[in-house]
Structure 1
């Protein structure tokens, strides 16, 4: 496979003349029309000169097959899964193909690697595209041999004539196939006939990542590149008064020091850039700066005050209604006995293993960018708008990402690199230190919840939730005054059909702390509150927690998932002194149920014995990748539940590195058992949906064992008794 990360930039009239690839190659792509519908087309048609599209499959005369991955690869498996889909219908061997990253372009219909959307958002088009290419190659071969097309079949990158055994490899057919009309209705394989899809095939990016050939953002180098580090105001809204660079300029390698402003949502963050010959000199120069900030005119909040404000709001405000059935408030007000509890979840930092970085080269008529970018098309659009250049003049190249979790879909660090390059008139790599990455944010918002409920005759008579936490939409766009549309995220839709009196509301809450998506977004906090409270309602009803959920989750697919959870965990045969907890959440079109088993340690505290996870994600590609993603989600969920949080003092982030922001270690890992439900439903997400149910399943298990309810995260498992 190639070490290349990108394909050359294309234009409307030169689609078939990509630099470095033969002009007579066979290309197929997907064209996204103005109404966002996708049409598989042959780019050699006359209409191709008038439309914007991108290649997914490139077959050269030599027989080389290149598959284009339109999404970022940050560990979740896109670099393998997208080619695995294409290779299935195209009938090529994964070991024989070249995989490259696409450049940023809206022509792919959206390249954001987030919302667990890579497979579920594109697999149908990719299957159709690959089958279209296969059928055109078969037609081309049949024409050369003057035989019926139905006597020919595709296998391992070649077309074979079954009666005679004659064969032609795809390269020999590329030019002829490229001139054929595109079939309008190709036949896709049945699931039972898949050779690759649904199989646990070893990832094609693993060798690159173990032999050092994979190019991550921090590895990337271009000719003439300098390095930059930036001392930024530790409070987002503060302003630069002055700086003294005398000591910085004494450091060998430091070239220039100047003020910059980086766009963070709709705010400009002040900073001082240090540009040097190497990253070490830039970082050391940054440490030597003497900077005076003006932090007046906005609040400098600390974590205790933030928590108190949210709790006060939950007691005083009804909030903005997001969803409501019946009249739960009336029933709760009239009840003689009710549940009324509060759950608290903290702010979190992303802490991807590879800190934020980006290379930019600003030129008068063109800007080119390289780096670990979770949303290359967003970067292209943002830079195009901000620097007043046509989108086609902003070239965005992806590298591998050393983790992202939503942080690297944001545009601030990309914008910062371009600002610096424009100032120095040379290409530059901006390098964030671990401390920069940890403390500058944006962060996952900490959210608090109030749950109220009434049980009558063992049934849910009323259920009411209110949430108070920063709304990411208020930072991303002007939506103040509107409720948080993610208030019900993570809560299963069938509950709304079976619970007659239920409501969710959002209480607006603002601070100067910048917030952003974090793996599974609001489901990561909602899931803890909603599934913990469902467990409390089950206890109030004196019902088995899993049976209680089964009663209200009547949708057939969820019933099958619950059956599987019960079967694999031995739920019905659990012993009296064992702690078992359950939680079921839904996000990004996938449902995940988890059961956690805990026990008491001899030295005090709680240990996790085992986690059973069952996922219904519909159609899927690679079970091994799914298992890895579920396990990774559980580990990340464990960290957020019992190890780390981001706290603030006087408006500044406290936890600056791993020695303060503790991560789970290998000896903290429980045994995990993963099960995937097989069905014919449309594909759902995989990378994020398994995170939300872990925390409530864990705390529900602790209650089952000890009788102690944990309603505030994070908590220390060694202190639970």
Structure 2
């Protein structure tokens, strides 16, 4: 981390902290590769603020600002747990609040790609340690003793020999006048009191006693409520509408056409605004809308996969990654494997449906809601409305699940346009049916996987995928291969297998698609890890032994050692099916082993799942275990229970009665293990998902000899 002295005026311009005594923090200039510590002279004030990350008033009260969304993944706990460790404060004495969207203060605030901890933990540790050192320095000066004679704990600085102490509030103003230390010594892992400890989450009491504020809980004076009837074929437009019956519903105030942005396209609908959510919903049911659905294909699911698989047989696609000459090796090989895998479209199906509050006020707009990407919302709405970005104020609430869906700009934009029409604050609520039928979805994808084997060794691998590229929806059609084509495939394989290629066969439909938990690794992982099992069989090798052979990097070997030990892989018994998969995404590697058997009724039973995560440096083991368990539950549903299908351009699923979720009775025992090392932090919220489906289907093959290449499949029918 660099240090830099800037003027107080420049600091306040950058951080927006006028009226505070803080002269310490970090900011994110676009030209810098990492955050810079900044320092300037302070003024007499009642409080200091560390670039709005840490706020300490003269009473010693500490407020920590969480710069990322909390959607169940644990940032509301993990970020403060990091700061409290090096700042030496007790979490029970800390107030945690959500930061507003502000790229200049906080850098990237997009909660996605499992990036919250891995992108910020080093900065947070250094900043907190710097603050602690400065507070200790002030206390040492007041006592006229050396720094070595003082230490910090529980929001106080203590003198070792006399027992004298100051609370931080008594030191902050003088601390703000000190020069920033250029170097600070961080704690060793062995010295941690909070980090790597399974501390109870700070948001759990709020969510159980009803004080946590989710998007639907936000209320403003004079707020109205709206629902929207949107085109069921996604790209159609409103031909006409009859609002007469809707306007007769008590509480309905106004009905009008509205248009919201979906990246590079727009979706039309008819908004019903009322004095309550119930009235708006009843008014929506009474609407009569005629749609113009011409000019785009009315897609069917069967047609999607036929076109994908036809293209995989006839097209080479755009290379995303290639080394060696896999085509030449495959052409000459005596023994090859050539198979196709298929994964379905999936809904995000967050337990909290989409909602948003917007208040358009002419020269500015303020937004509240379950938002994963506040600065993207700022960027998009400022562009659409011609407002300066600082005039688009985005406030994050708790999210009842996100999984990528709530990183989009469509619903805040729609709420803003309705508020603008009404000249009042408006809360827009999506029903479960809106959420299920409108998308966006995880794209359905087909994969063609080819491999060559000689003398029991892999000589070439060739992978091609045909499915929608999320970047095309976000940025328009491109001529570059999907940048996530190889996502999920472990990097050490490239060192041991000299001929490998990944290519995208481009495929487009009108269906809106975007990120879904673990993004393309969730589909790639099924294809690539299932294929490695088929390669192991063709090579006459044990599936885990084959991975050990070709994953020579030390961390991979240690991961496999752990997987072998906890699962009893080498002690497998007759009538037990064991399957393995190892995937990597967002800088973390997860290996999973699934054990299956036949129940007394003859149906497949999942007996046990063992998951081993190597995420490098980490914060809270309980959060990691919860995230991996949740990922496995989500993966189980996507592999064996639910999918989104289309008929004549219409989504066939609309609610949980026909897009079913896993029940508690469906969930097998899960054991989660965390590898201990000092490597850089990786992601946690998403990497636990991709390995489950291939480990499950590989286990089923081990037990039954039946190879499953298409998801979802009916577990009870295998």
Which TM class, normalised by the smaller chain length? over 0.9
**Contact kept? 1:360, 1:367, Cα under 8 Å:** yes
CA deviation string 1:648-701 (max 9, x = no partner) = 111111110000001110000100011000001000000000100000000000
1: CA distance, partners of 2:25 / 2:246: 51
2: CA distance, partners of 1:45 / 1:522: 48
* Alignment of 1:89 onto 2:86: yes
What's 2:639 paired with?
Answer: 641
Equivalent residue for 2:603, pick from 598, 602, 605 = 605
What's 2:674 paired with?
Answer: 676
What's 2:61 paired with?
Answer: 64
SS of 2:541's equivalent? coil
SS of 2:659's equivalent? coil
**Contact kept? 2:40, 2:177, Cα under 8 Å:** no
* Alignment of 1:461 onto 2:459: yes
Matches within 5 A, 1:187-198: 187-198=185-196
After TM superposition, give the deviation of residue 386 of structure 1 in Å: 1.4
2: CA distance, partners of 1:180 / 1:681: 33
What's 2:445 paired with?
Answer: 447
**Contact kept? 1:320, 1:507, Cα under 8 Å:** yes
After TM superposition, give the deviation of residue 201 of structure 1 in Å: 0.5
Equivalent residue for 1:31, pick from 27, 35, 50 = 27
After TM superposition, give the deviation of residue 43 of structure 1 in Å: 5.9
2: CA distance, partners of 1:14 / 1:239: 43
CA deviation string 1:117-143 (max 9, x = no partner) = 000000000000100110111111112
**Contact kept? 1:28, 1:57, Cα under 8 Å:** no
After TM superposition, give the deviation of residue 335 of structure 1 in Å: 2.7
Change over 3 Å in CA distance of 1:318–1:388 after alignment to 2: same
**Contact kept? 1:69, 1:100, Cα under 8 Å:** yes
2: CA distance, partners of 1:173 / 1:45: 13
What's 1:3 paired with?
Answer: none
Change over 3 Å in CA distance of 1:705–1:496 after alignment to 2: same
**Contact kept? 1:604, 1:719, Cα under 8 Å:** no
CA deviation string 1:47-66 (max 9, x = no partner) = xxxxx994101100011100
SS of 1:41's equivalent? strand
2: CA distance, partners of 1:39 / 1:198: 27
**Contact kept? 1:489, 1:586, Cα under 8 Å:** yes
Matches within 5 A, 1:167-178: 167-178=165-176
**Contact kept? 2:580, 2:695, Cα under 8 Å:** yes
* Alignment of 1:153 onto 2:154: no
Equivalent residue for 2:331, pick from 317, 333, 343 = 333
What's 1:614 paired with?
Answer: 612
2: CA distance, partners of 1:179 / 1:11: 16
**Contact kept? 1:27, 1:56, Cα under 8 Å:** no
After TM superposition, give the deviation of residue 337 of structure 1 in Å: 3.1
2: CA distance, partners of 1:679 / 1:43: 38
What's 1:104 paired with?
Answer: 101
What's 1:130 paired with?
Answer: 128
Task: Say what the alpha-carbon RMSD is for the aligned residues.
Answer: 1.5
Worse-superposed segment, 134-143 or 289-298: 134-143
**Contact kept? 2:333, 2:454, Cα under 8 Å:** no
Aligned residues: 701
After TM superposition, give the deviation of residue 577 of structure 1 in Å: 1.5
* Alignment of 1:510 onto 2:508: yes
2: CA distance, partners of 1:629 / 1:268: 34
Name the TM-score, length of structure 2 as normaliser: 0.96
SS of 1:282's equivalent? helix
After TM superposition, give the deviation of residue 634 of structure 1 in Å: 0.4
What's 1:6 paired with?
Answer: none
Change over 3 Å in CA distance of 1:477–1:705 after alignment to 2: same
Matches within 5 A, 1:710-721: 710-720=708-718
2: CA distance, partners of 1:146 / 1:203: 40
CA deviation string 1:73-126 (max 9, x = no partner) = 000000000000000000000000100100001121100110000000000000
Matches within 5 A, 1:493-642: 493-642=491-640
Unaligned runs of 5+ in 2: 1-10, 44-48
**Contact kept? 1:611, 1:673, Cα under 8 Å:** yes
What's 2:370 paired with?
Answer: 372
1: CA distance, partners of 2:139 / 2:357: 45
SS of 1:163's equivalent? coil
After TM superposition, give the deviation of residue 481 of structure 1 in Å: 1.5
**Contact kept? 1:32, 1:53, Cα under 8 Å:** no
After TM superposition, give the deviation of residue 378 of structure 1 in Å: 1.2
**Contact kept? 2:260, 2:266, Cα under 8 Å:** yes
CA deviation string 1:440-481 (max 9, x = no partner) = 011000010001112111101221111000000111113521
Change over 3 Å in CA distance of 1:246–1:43 after alignment to 2: farther
After TM superposition, give the deviation of residue 389 of structure 1 in Å: 1.1
Equivalent residue for 2:37, pick from 10, 20, 40 = 40
* Alignment of 1:342 onto 2:340: yes
CA deviation string 1:510-556 (max 9, x = no partner) = 00000000000000000000000000000111100000110000011
2: CA distance, partners of 1:44 / 1:29: 13
Name the TM-score, length of structure 1 as normaliser: 0.96
After TM superposition, give the deviation of residue 230 of structure 1 in Å: 0.3
After TM superposition, give the deviation of residue 27 of structure 1 in Å: 6.8
Change over 3 Å in CA distance of 1:27–1:197 after alignment to 2: farther
Equivalent residue for 1:492, pick from 485, 490, 493 = 490
**Contact kept? 1:69, 1:78, Cα under 8 Å:** yes
**Contact kept? 2:560, 2:591, Cα under 8 Å:** yes
Change over 3 Å in CA distance of 1:391–1:43 after alignment to 2: farther
2: CA distance, partners of 1:14 / 1:488: 39
What's 1:693 paired with?
Answer: 691
**Contact kept? 1:29, 1:43, Cα under 8 Å:** no
2: CA distance, partners of 1:704 / 1:98: 52
1: CA distance, partners of 2:209 / 2:24: 32
CA deviation string 1:129-172 (max 9, x = no partner) = 10011011111111222222221110100001112111010111
CA deviation string 1:397-451 (max 9, x = no partner) = 0100000000000000010000000111000001000000111011000010001
* Alignment of 1:483 onto 2:484: no
After TM superposition, give the deviation of residue 604 of structure 1 in Å: 2.7
What's 1:652 paired with?
Answer: 650
Matches within 5 A, 1:214-363: 214-363=212-361
SS of 1:613's equivalent? strand
Equivalent residue for 1:706, pick from 695, 704, 707 = 704
**Contact kept? 1:597, 1:701, Cα under 8 Å:** yes
**Contact kept? 2:645, 2:653, Cα under 8 Å:** yes
Worse-superposed segment, 331-340 or 120-129: 331-340
